[in-house]
Structure 1
Amino acid sequence: MSVIGEAALSVFLELLGGKLLDSALNFVADHKQLRPQLKQWQSILPDIQAVLDDAEEKQIKNEGVKKWLEDLQDLAYDVDDILDEFAYEELRLKLKKSQAEASTSKVRKLIPTCCTSSNFTPTFFLFKNSMIPKVKEITARLNSLTTRRSSLGLSEILSQAPTSKGKQPRLQSTSVLDGVVEYVGRHKEKTEMIEFLKGDNSNGVSVLSIVGMGGMGKTTLAQLVYNDATINQCFHHKAWVCVSDNFDAIAITKAILQSITSESCDYSNLDLLQVKLKEKLFGKRFLLVLDDIWNENYNDWTILRSPFGAGTHIIVTTRLQIVSSIVDPLKAFHLDKLPEDDCLSIFAQHALKARNFDGYLQFKEIGEKIVRRCNGLPLAAKAIGSLLRTVTYPGKWERIYESEIWNLPEEQCGIIPALRLSYHHLPSYLKRCFAYCSILPKEYAFEEEEIILLWRAEGLLQQKAMPQIKDLGNQYFQDLVSRSFFLTSSKDKSRFVMHDLINDLAQVVAGEICSKLEGDKKWKFSNRTRHSSYIVGTYDTAKKFEAFDQVNSLRTFLPFKFASDYPLPFLTNFVLVDLLPRLGYLRMLSLSGYWITELPDVFENSKHLRYLNFSNTLIECLPDSLCTLYHLETLLLRRCRQLQRLPSKMENLVNLHYLDIRGANSIERIPFRIDKLTNLQRC
């Protein structure tokens, strides 16, 4: 059910065809074979990028288009890897030249510059020649994609608003409550909101906001308050408007007027509409619900609310914390997961038309297991309960429980489009960051810095998206928090978690690119897999890593631990001696938390590495080949208590931004010339 997102892929292609390709072209400017090939890339990539909108539209119904997009995504990663090799070689030569110039040898001064220039070394010629077949293969694949593009009928189409493209029109919410179902949960929030609304607001407009991820029950809570009998007695007028994607001040104002007057309104002039609305509300108590707001423009909000004065209460529901900040509520209600008992009652009402399982004991055990998978999300409990409404035997319930929710019929399971909608509203640069987070295990609590360092290593923090922002990683992370993709952990307020169904959503949009070992299933990763993770066991033997047999171009190798218990877990030597040396495209490698005392000296073949995490291991030293990792940005050695020294040529790690040696108290001295690492921000 995975769908390739053209927006995220388009950003990737744009980056490849920009500075990365320009730099490679300059580097091989005098090469008669490589330069023409790269020039072809430069002309083909924009043509392919131009049809991505059309391809995204057609992939749902056309398997050939979906396969074309998958092959294109695969190719984009391969292009990135090759351009990265050029960048590495250029950096290596630059360092070598710099070191040669620093030499004060009198003998060297007598040798002509042309003979010492790094551009004339045999190694450099060998490198260029080794790149010829790789580059030619990419060119052939690009040409093949271009031919297939034509045969599939893909064409450039005019760009559409990102909120409307590729989606069916959504049924708007209304103020009417379901008279069949007894509502449970949110009693505290409902009572608090009603008491607030009944109070005096003679000093001006009062605003309440209800904030939470999709499916958390924001609209239901607003309906409960809106239809409460005591609220009806407190207000002269009420109006409910579902704003949704299109924040149209004229349409919203018309809808409010029609709710108050029960008359159709033909005005199309916003000034006339607002003057009439202000007259109608003068001296009256008015309750307005604006459901499902996505608009983040403060000016739009101030224009819309201008007719309202003393006596007006507004309830706003939104998935975005930034919207809550913009409407400046006197009080904001941030909805968390429902207790399991409340979810169980919701599920039972929709599945069995009963409040509980007292009369249906044969369904009780499996029903409770299904509800636990809903993880406190009321819409999920309702949606899956509705699927089972006509099912009279427990076997079908078992099959629903064992099925991934994303494999259920979308037209019958409202939770799927409800959650996917949040993803569609993300800017393209955040879509890539979110999809990458699919490698996080369910229920794993992570730190902000932990995720930002991984994003940086994968090249997801692009200055072009927000050139005015200094700390892009923090901004991206907080944007995803604001949109409820990341939730504050209830166990540790300094950490964050992803709701299970949001984690599933990330896996759906990432597809085979991101894979993880979870549970007891026998896994085999696709040869398309670029990012992988697994949960650490007490003894991680070679059998566990059979899943990596088909993976040739892996970028991410991350183990995750849920506890920091001692003794440390053991890792098979197969990973260190056999697996890692053949993963030559790794950018992120962690062996954190394992009982490892020695690392093999194999890093000279790992030129793409940006991120290394050996924290909480028993290593005593680092191999010298680590200093050939000129792209390395992050080196984590936290609590490596046995580590006695750092490599002597650390100054070669010119891109190192982050070095964490906290708790590595046995280090005897910092290497000479480490002050040359001008990019180092933390040590």
Structure 2
Amino acid sequence: MIQAVLSVAEEKQLTSKSVKLWLDDLRDLAYDTEDMLEKLFTELLRRKIENLHQAISSEVWSFIPTCGTGFGNLMFNFVSEINETTRRLEGISQRKDSLGLNDIDGSMMEWKRPPSSSFPDGPMIGRDVYKRKIVKLLLRNQQSNLKFDMVGIVGMSGLGKTTLAGLVFNDDAMKHFDIKVWVSVSDDFNYVRLTKAILKSIKLESDTDEEFRKLQEHLSKILVDNKFLIVLDDVRNTKNDLHDLWLTFQSPFRAGAPGSKIIVTTREVDVAKAMGAVRNYTLECVSDDDCWNAFVQHAFFIRNISEVPNLGSLRKKIIAKCNGLPLAARTLGGLLHCREINEWEDILNDKSWTLLNQSNILPLLGLSYYYLPSPLKRCFAYCSVLPEDNEFEEKQLILLWMAEGLIKQPEGSRQIEDLGREYFRELLSRSFFQKSRKDESKYVMHELMNDLAQWVAGEICFRLEDELDGDNNAGLLKRLVAHLTLKLAWMAFKGLEPSPNSSICRLSYHLHNHIHIMSVVS
């Protein structure tokens, strides 16, 4: 019932602060109630095991009832929590009526994925000229005084920088290089982490638990006399000393063979310049025709374009909404491909476009989320705990959804994993996920989709970066966090623990025991 109410009230929270606060309180109550029930069932199970153990010890081979005679005492311990939960629920219900939220039916129909035979993952549209130029440049001899050249791909989010770099990286002409490595950088230009990532990519069994000097020596020995191609994806200028960090990091690359190349993708041309790029390719918005073609590639892979009435007028509206961004064209195509043609006009005229313009989220992405079925909304919001640029497998994410109770047991003989697979593939077909350019068996979320997930999850999910101060972060957490991801770049999978004075421990103190850790990413 609560999930159904959340779905109905989502649109109103865009314009009403009161509704937003009400929704936050309702979510808190849902999690607190779930915690209370889990404690109750855990205590019941503990008592059952103790009773059974006592019976076996006394050689009484009879089954002791689950609750036993202590059930009344057990319930008495939970009376205050149950009463408090009831009081909060009554208050929230009264506020719902005063906010003008309509009553709804508590039953929620099981979502069924529309039939489709494949997922659009066709050729990149509108960037062929860039690709040819970059490939040609990579095959030339070096132009700088070093043994390697740096090439920059620059542009705002959603223009396809990573996609273009991936097409170049996987082009057959790149067999010219002896070593090929792809590393995601993001806003953490940690040269120790990046060096370890390159070593791991080249030599899976290399010992990355060495000090930085040893790591660089090891990398230099591997690169010596080898022509390499390295992609540093999504480098951001978050530090004033980026140039100094780059000089420290790039030392082993000088051991490579002449003609080695590095591609850096970034939003800012100053970043590429600080790293010594000999040539920058600045991506502009794609043309109207290319934008339309990208939309058609995703919207019409299961239907005929001739079915669309008033195609000319729809084409103009769609192009205007996409604003020349390939990501937007793919996302809108993914949104409309599973809707009836007669619904397209209503979606394009939806007032939520204007409401979402007031947020920091690309309106089209927000609208795509708004039109997701309720079960898929919950699964996508949970993805906000995934670290940025994190690669994940389909099965891995489905198991996390299952563990969190986000996928309900389907009716009939279908398995819950099958329903989870349908959830995943529907989000994939709508471009909420996309295949990794490094490993086609894995998937990633575009940085804008990652921002969207964090926006819709609100304060329910939180990511703590190790560079941030724990006390300051604790001040930001005004509510109970249901899902917390700790990203400890300095913590290896060696059983190491943070010191008692670390930001992690200080934050744990502020949150007491109410922390659910999804993963520790090292």
The two structures have a TM-score, normalised by structure 1, of 0.39
> Which structure carries more relative contact order (alpha carbon 8 Å, separation 6+)?
2
Structure showing greater radius of gyration is: 1
